[in-house]
Amino acid sequence: MNRTNKLIHLTHFETPLGTMVAGAVEEGVCLLEFSDRKILDKELNFFPVSQFFFSFF
């Protein structure tokens, strides 16, 4: 896959400070943010042509 067509694996998890969202590609972590942040939507839109795979564990 090229830079404009990445599969991004997303998950969420609980921390003592609140729920976080993490995103990773083959090369490593590309997103780590608290889920209640208003900027999270903008950060996810930074990858407009990427495919997201949501995993919940």
pLDDT per position as a tens digit, 13-42 = 999 999 999 988 888 898 898 988 888 777
Give the per-residue pLDDT at 19: 94
- Model pLDDT, residue 17: 96
| 52 against 15, higher pLDDT | 15
Predicted TM-score (pTM) of this structure: 0.68
Spans of all domains in the chain: 7-54
User: Does residue 23 contact residue 29 with C-beta atoms inside 8 Å?
Assistant: yes
Higher model confidence: residue 47 or residue 2?
47
Q: Give yes or no for a contact between 14 and 21, defined as CB atoms under 8 angstroms apart.
A: no
CA dist., res. 21 & res. 14, Å (int): 9
For residues 54 and 33, give the distance between their C-alpha atoms in angstroms, rounded to a whole number. Answer: 15
